[in-house]
Structure 1
């Protein structure tokens, strides 16, 4: 039975009681009321149409609940991985384009395979590479990036997209004067409503109430106000020229993106084919990518500036027999009656320009369930995405397990990290075949499930079925939902993740670790949107600091303090016990990484105490020894003996002493050189080597 439960972990739900089923139904419906608006908001954060958030809230939710370890963990779209997905895919395609969607789905498959492999091989401990300060620094930076990336939707201005997030954010700040006030009003109203309901009526799903009311009001007042007209009906020569240049440049950017993608596919095909000629040809073709990528970067920067400039222009519509003609706002020709609305540029395609006098809404959402489709694989892009996929796999796993363990402290449920990895991996793999992008465990939804009394993973399946009903019957009713409301939902979710206190505490414990956390924070901000690079830098710095500590563990000459205990001579300003017997505390493993430092410590003692006859290594802090350490002990003991100084050890742990015994070091040096404890050792040595001074 235990073996069967390990393969089919959902069997632990049975037998179910009527009360348990009722609790799961209630929890599932409650979570779904949070899931639907959250998933749409996070899909936009991932650079995808909102319907893909709903797709990610269907199959992955069910699979993760069936094969996960925690009964209360809810899997689906989350803010952090949504941003990381967008940042990883952005260099390869335009957000919202078919190529972007295809690569996002492929990335979900990659993350799923990596998590599944980590779970099957029980490598969950790899997450220990992420130290607490690094996680906090990264999370704080990512939360700021995610939250502030929604600012453009809050104030209703374009968000420039480039390879440098801080410059993009500055581009938004520059447009504050062009704020669309009705859009801002929807955002502020949604925020106030969610906060008030959370305080006054906490049982009500404030997020869903805000979404429903905002959609109703938006539809009632005609918030969107959008019109599509031929460019020939815009009678502002300067603006027509600017729109034409913008459209031409956008077309060139799309063509370059397709050309780069095709070149990548060809290079990947040649590399798979193998052979010297194919590999040489692949390298030659690969060199042609650099100028294309450089040109695309320059053109994107130019169009970002054009887009901002176009947004600042205002047009006024005039009714004509052909429809609407547009002139500069307030400069309608004499004899014509303007509509008094300030129309702004929204987009252009195929000679048709879209103008808006209102705010941005979600728009048409496809009705129906996602179909089964095998993800398209681009091997060259996959190779480029691999570092980001690995970081996303680790971050998502860390989120899921930390949430599960936090909930388990109240439920008493045992969490198996490897099983959770398997569940999360299968969820992403299965989801990628049904149009899902990368998913993970959600803290807000999992906490909501636990709070409402969810008993088994059945609650998550219920929430997924509610999403199915939304996809089948309710998507047309979400057309008028203001995007500013979804932006507020994202902002409120991620800004709650920002924590300063852990870094302050880390500074008091270990300033090096705290500094690494701060560097991770700064690097993540600076490298955005490629935020995965920020945490990779944090991991590298953590490993370097760890290795440095292992290479130079604490070592100090000790002497008696006033209370009779031993303390560091330098740390406590103590006088040496003797000039002939020098006790040294060494608190670290004697391995290849630290033996050179161990030797330096001993040689420094010789230099500082020229009349030393015995050096006592207080070894209670030496936890392990390898071949390099054993060899160094042997060499040092012989060198010191030849120089008239004897090397002694006290308090060695059993595993260390037994290793030295097996290799013959104890017999070679003399068993009397290895004493059981420091008190006996000092008493014996001070009597044996009296200080003649």
Structure 2
């Protein structure tokens, strides 16, 4: 088969499919589907989307990622990390769960897909090397904590306020612990016991699916949701009604502001495309107006989340009036002997003047039945620059996850993983998925591990798992109505807390303390900057690059002498006596380029100043891998300055490419070939003879200039 077909259609490697392969893939596909369905719904909620969008993201992207990926056992679909990053990137621009938020989630998936496809097509996957191991570990640990603890509100059944400070929001959740819903907590603990227990006792059983089925049945049997819709006249609590009214008005205003900001951005973009001084000026005015509205929008959202917490903290008791209508009073206003319906009621929602109260827990609710329709993603070009940094980080993080999973699996299967092809496959999966209502996806470690463990042979297993999702969308969504959201929260928490690793940072501390500190800073910054967690890893990347530049600007350079075992070592680090006062050997472990030539000059001149009697400075250059024009020019300058005081600049052990560059520049002839030695031992021996003879001839008086004129031995 021509190689071009293998490149364009990598899934052709699956064929021919034997009966044994088909059987193995069928079993693996069904097993993965049992994990995929509940996981995808949980991760969709983490992304701020209705649960059905998790199922949409488990259909087309799974198939495309499998067909065009390079690892047969990698399963593409919703993952916890990118779900949280997607929500964090979009919350400043739309309310979670709203139509605008859904449209932006799909648009972000398209952006991430295009970036990954670009990186893969031009084989730029090496850019992920900017993410050092300590930075990745620090970011992953912080993100896992953020993801896991963000589910705490669902576990105890209280609102989770969303403001600009994740830690402050989390603290507000903790302060609501006295108002926890015991039945919700019971479902969460029960799901945790089932999933964790089956993992230990019977790991072959689908613990996640069993927990979902049992919890859904139990929720329906006991009427866990227990909601009612009432009119404002039925609530005998004036302050609560006032807060509800303010909440509803603010939410309406939030929707209006979101629309106005989008319109202003589109108008400004059209003016900027038109060009011209007046158009650009008008566009700047529109941008400024949009910025003011964005500030108001952010304030309204913050105020409304706090109102939601306040309303939930106001429990009500239901009292049946003589006419049979339920009226809801503040719990504190009723005496113990007053006749009232059992249970506490709390505010849940308000819509079109009707207030929804709940005495139970939160469930998944209605899930639209049917497959996602084909629809072009709605691109809001005015938001593309604002979302681009987050999209780039998501593209790199998702790529890093997918390739690390693929390589881990490849160590057992022996399959070769092509990172560029994997980038192309992941990019196409996100692009194709965005046309079918999918948000950002990537390779899943847990589902890929299940596939490898159950013996998947080709990517056909992923297609089988996607067909199982299709079956759920067509026939079983109605049965998921009563699934408690607390169970989905536990699924997320168990998945992400397993990502937390401390040992790599401890190991990094032993080897590279600066790198370890950068990892710790990344961890702290990600927590502090949440929900904008992409900024945390960007800070880590910037610090890593700065650390690398500083190390490159100041490579290891030291005056050396003999250690007890005969090898050379730094005289300061090992407290050694100098080899001689007549010459000074200096080791320089770095390429001579524009970024560090100033440091090279300082190091050589400082060595000469410490040994003023020396007639030569020897640069042990076996660690110099390259030299540029700035390096050559600086050597010329340093050699001239030393020659003026009668000191020769010498080199030993220069690599072929460096020596060749110096010969082409004429510097070898200028310094004299006797100033270049093939290795350091020869250089030390020859300089011992030369400089000792020069010192005897010069006596105690100062040298008056010129290079060493002792003939070269041999």
Q: Same fold (TM over 0.5)?
A: yes
> Which range moves more in the overlay, 636-645 or 52-61?
636-645
What's the counterpart of residue 294 of structure 1?
295
Contact 2:614–2:691 (CA under 8 A) maintained in structure 1: no
The equivalent of 1:353 in structure 2 is 355
Matched residues in 2 for 1:184 and 1:553: separation?
57
Counterparts of 1:40 and 1:563, CA distance in 2: 65
- Residue 408 (structure 1) aligned with residue 405 (structure 2): no
The alpha carbon displacement at 1:232 in A equals 2.0
The equivalent of 1:214 in structure 2 is 215
- Which deviates more from structure 2 when the two are superposed, residues 628-637 or residues 81-90? 628-637
RMSD: 1.4
Aligned partners of 1:43 and 1:53 also within 8 Å: yes
Partner of 2:181: 180
Q: Residues of 2 paired with 1:469 and 1:187: CA distance?
A: 27
Whole-Å separation in 1 of the counterparts to 2:336 and 2:412: 74
Q: CA deviation at 1:261?
A: 2.0
Shift, 1:670, TM fit: 1.2
Task: Indicate conservation of the 8 Å contact 2:362/2:485, yes or no.
Answer: yes
| 2-structure distance, mates of 1:324, 1:265 | 49
Q: 2:688 aligns with which of 686, 689, 693?
A: 686
| Structure 1 equivalent of residue 526 of structure 2 | 524
Aligned match of 1:607: 609
Rounded to whole Å, the distance in 2 between the matches of 1:333 and 1:637 is 97
Question: Structure 1's 334 and 419: CA in aligned 2 closer, same or farther, altered over 3 A?
Answer: closer
Cα distance in 2 between the residues matched to 1:91 and 1:270: 24
Instruction: Quote the Cα distance in structure 2 between the aligned partners of 1:537 and 1:330.
Output: 50
Does residue 38 in structure 1 map to residue 42 in structure 2?
no
Q: Take 2:16 and 2:425, find their aligned partners in 1: how far apart are those partners?
A: 21
Contact 2:229/2:356 (8 A) holds in 1: yes
Deviation for aligned residue 1:565: 1.1
Superposed CA offset, 1:488-530 (max 9, x none): 0000000000001100110111111011101100110011101
State the shift of 1:328 in Å.
2.2
Q: Alpha-carbon deviations, 1:562-601, whole Å to 9, x = none?
A: 1111111001000111112100000001011110100000
The answer (yes or no) to whether the contact 1:92–1:261 under 8 Å persists in 2 is: no
Aligned length: 693
Give deviations 1:413-452, integer Å, cap 9, x for gaps: 0000000000000000000000000000000000100000
Structure 1 residue aligned with 2:257: 256
SS at match of 1:456: coil
The answer (yes or no) to whether the contact 1:316–1:330 under 8 Å persists in 2 is no
Q: Per the alignment, in what secondary structure is the counterpart of residue 646 of structure 2? A: coil
Provide, for residues 127-180 of structure 1, a one-character-per-residue CA deviation record: whole Å limited to 9, x for no partner: 000000000000000000000000000000000001111111111011111111
Counting only pairs closer than 5 Å after superposition, residues 323-472 of structure 1 correspond to structure 2 as 323-329=325-331, 331=333, 337-472=339-474
- Could you tell me which of 503, 512, 524 is aligned with 1:510? 512
Query: Are residues 1:575 and 2:592 paired?
Result: no
Aligned counterparts of 2:334 and 2:519: Cα–Cα separation in 1 = 58
What residue number does 1:242 align with? 243
Greater shift, 241-250 or 219-228, is seen at: 241-250
> 1:649 is matched with which residue?
651
After TM superposition, where is structure 1 displaced by more than 4 Å over at least 4 residues in a row? 319-323, 330-337
- Which residue is equivalent to 2:192? 191
Contact 1:368 1:472 in 2 (8 A): yes
Deviations 1:93-121 (A, max 9, x none): 00000000000000000000000000000
User: Quick check: 2:107–2:379 contact (8 Å CA) kept in 1?
Assistant: yes
Distance 2:474 2:326 in 1: 36
1:607 positional shift? 1.4
Query: What displacement does 1:333 show?
Result: 9.8
Q: Please say if 1:283 is aligned against 2:284.
A: yes
> Residue in 2 aligned with 1:310?
311
- Find the counterpart in structure 2 of residue 71 from structure 1: 72
| 1:95 aligned residue | 96
Alignment of structure 1 residues 558-569 onto 2, 5 Å:
558-569=560-571
Contact persistence 2:92–2:298 (CA under 8 A): no
Asked whether 1:170 is paired with 2:193, we answer: no
User: Alpha-carbon deviation of 1:201?
Assistant: 0.9
> For 2:382 and 2:102, how far apart are their aligned partners in 1?
17
Secondary structure in 2 matching 1:476: helix
Q: Please, which moves more after superposition, 236-245 or 383-392?
A: 236-245
Structure 1 unaligned blocks of 5 or more? none
Q: Secondary structure at the match of 2:546?
A: helix
Q: Distance in 2 between matches of 1:303 and 1:437?
A: 26
Q: Which residue of 1 aligns with 2:661?
A: 659
Task: Quickly say closer, same or farther: Cα 1:602–1:333, change in 2 above 3 A.
Answer: closer
Q: Report the 3-state secondary structure (helix = DSSP H, G, I; strand = E; otherwise coil) of the residue aligned with 1:689.
A: helix
